[in-house]
Each structure stands twice: as structure tokens, then as C-alpha cells.
Amino acid sequence: MDNVVKSLSVERAISPSAGKFIIKQPTQAQAEDAVRTLILWAGDDPSREGLLETPARVAKAYRELYRGYQEDAGAILDRVFEEVDGYQDMVLVRDIPFHSHCEHHMVPFVGKVHIGYYPNGGVVGLSKLARVVDVFARRLQTQETMTAQIAHAIETSLKPHGVAVLVEAEHMCMSMRGVQKQGSSTLTTQYTGRFRDAAEQVRFFTMVKSPGL
């Protein structure tokens, strides 16, 4: 196992174009060995029947849970509809569910994202805002970073008159372990443009919390 870990030598270099890290992917066998190590660390026997296929399943699940690293929010927000008969008011998509993993413990945090923006000429497909949430949620995250990244992606692609992002979430690393406080929630917000105005923030928040369908 030691040899596998030593030979991983993850390469980290900053790509000049996107400012992204280029990671040299470990092989499937290396990923599965790492899971076997963690099973041993948890105190179980990775060679018992029920756990034999677990390393392969976990490696596959990781591809899904961390798919966001392979995705580009800019490409998702690329298509704008301009024929909206002069609509200029706020567009709000609320209660977008998400699950992410905190970068400190790699334990889930789950909740909802609310996104409002003031269009500048055109509007984006509503589903695309929910897709952008997943691009950033399916990475190792802090709630603050995820909130800022969602707002930044919309701001950069749509250049709207303002973006508001509100994220509310429960962190399993605070409920299942550590301080063990079930039911606490964390709210984070990021505002740009018109939403820097306090009255706009009140309007956004009121709409987010108004009775639903």
C-alpha cells in the first residue's frame, strides 16, 4: 500500500488560460487501493465478501459526486434568449436542492440555493441556473466558496444588472461528528450590481421566503 501511495505523485500546475489546477489522475487500481486503506482505517476487513466490490463502487460514486471538476459553468450559460418582450425585472429561481462535500472533512453538506438576477438584454434557460449549482456543488467545497463561485459564473457569463445568490445548508460534519449539533443551518449570500442596494436584498429575501406554489 505504501508503494501505491508514494507512486501517486499528484502533479499540480496552474494552467495559464483558466487558472485551473491540472491534476494527474490516479489509476482505477490506485483509487480502489485507497478505499481499501480507508476501510482498514475504519476498522473493517476489505477482503470480506460484503466489502469486496466496495472499492470499485466508491471509485465509481466519486466520479458522479465530483463530476463538477469536469464541467464548465460558462459553457452551460452560453445560450441566452433575447426575445422576452422587454422583460427587465428580477428572475428568481428558488429552492434549488444541492448536495456537496465540505473540503475539510469530505462529509456532505446539503441544502438549497436561491438565485436571482436582473437580466441585461436576454435571459438564460432556467434549468441552466440549476445546472450551474451542480457544477460547483459537485466538488470539494466550503459553502462560502460555492456561493461566490455561482454568483461569479452568472455575473461573468450573463453580465446582468445584478446577481443575488443565497445558500442555506446543513453540514453533516457539524451534525454527525465533531460538535454534533443537528438541525443548525448556515446561510451565505453573495450580491453584485443592483443587489448591493439593501432594499434590493430585502426584496430578494422576501421573494425567496414568500409562500410557494
Ligand X SMILES: Nc1nc2c(ncn2[C@@H]2O[C@H](COP(=O)(O)OP(=O)(O)OP(=O)(O)O)[C@@H](O)[C@H]2O)c(=O)[nH]1
Q: Contact, 161 vs 194, CB < 8 A?
A: yes
By CB under 6 A, residue 174 contacts ligand X: yes
Joined together, the cell numbers standing for residue 167 give 445558500
From 11, 25, 104, 144, active-site residue:
104
By CB under 5 A, residue 65 contacts Zn ion: no
By CB under 6 A, residue 181 contacts ligand X: no
Positions 118 through 147 that interact with ligand X (CB under 6 A):
142-144
CA 139/CA 65 separation, integer angstroms? 7
Q: Which of 36, 138, 171, 194 binds ligand X (CB under 6 A)?
A: 171
Shortest distance, position 178 Cβ to ligand X, whole Å: 3
Instruction: Work out what residue 174 binds among Zn ion, ligand X, none; the CB cut-off runs from 5 to 8 Å by kind.
Output: ligand X
- Cα angle 138, 139, 145 (rounded to 5 degrees) comes to 110
CA 190/CA 197 separation, integer angstroms? 12
What one-character DSSP code corresponds to residue 67? G
Size of the site for ligand X (CB under 6 A): 10
What is the per-residue binding string for Zn ion in 86-125, x denoting contact by CB under 5 A? ----------------x-xx--------------------
CA 143/CA 73 separation, integer angstroms? 17
From 30, 71, 99, 105, active-site residue:
105
List CB contacts of 160: < 8 A, sequence separation 6 or more: 117, 118, 119, 120, 154, 193
Q: Which of 97, 121, 125, 178 binds ligand X (CB under 6 A)?
A: 178
Determine which helix (DSSP H) or strand (DSSP E) holds 100, and give its type and residue range: strand 91-102
From 11, 25, 88, 103, active-site residue:
103
What are the residues binding ligand X (CB under 6 A)?
A: 102, 104, 142-144, 171, 173-174, 178-179
